Structure 1
Amino acid sequence: MSKRDYYEILGVAKTADEKTMKSAFRKKAMECHPDRHPDDPEAEARFKELNEAYGILSDAQKRAAYDRMGHRAFEQGGMGGGAGGFQDFGDIFSQIFGGGAAGGGFADMFGGGGGGRRQQQARGSDLRYEMEISLEEAFGGKEIDITVPIAGDCDRCDGLGAEPGASVETCSTCGGAGRVRTQQGFFTMERACSTCGGQGEYVSNPCKQCDGQGQTRQQTELDVTIPAGVEDGTRIRLSGQGDAAPRGRGQPGDLYIFVSVKPHELFEREGANLFCRAPVPMTTAALGGDIEIPTIDGGRSKIKIPEGSQSGKRMRLRGKGMSVLRANQRGDMYVELSVETPSKLNKRQRELLEELAEVSGDEISPESANFFSKARRFWDDLVD
Structure 2
Amino acid sequence: MGALSHLKILDLSRVLAGPWAAQLLADLGAEVIKVERPEVGDDTRTWGPPFLHDRDGEPTRDAAYFLCTNRNKRSVTIDITTAEGQALVRELAGQADVLIENYKLGGLAQYGLDHASLHALYPRLVYCSITGFGHTGPYAPRAGYDFLVQGMGGLMSVTGRADGEEGAGPLKVGVAVTDILTGLYAANAIQAALAHRDRTGEGQHIDLALLDVAVACMANQAMNQLYGATPKRLGNGHPNVVPYQDFPTADGDVIIAVGNDGQFGRLCGVLGHPEWAGDARFSTNKSRQANRVELVRLLRTETLQRSTADWVSAMEAADVPCGPINTLAQVFEDPQVQARGMRVQVEHASAGSIPLVANPIKFSATPVDYRHAPPTLGQDTDAVLRDTLGLDAARIAALRANKVI
TM value normalised by structure 2: 0.26
If each structure's helix is expressed as a fraction of its own residues, which one has the higher value? 2
| Higher relative contact order (Cα pairs below 8 Å, separated by 6+ residues) | 2
The TM-score, its normalising length taken from structure 1, stands at 0.27
Computing the radius of gyration over CA atoms, which structure comes out larger, 1 or 2?
1
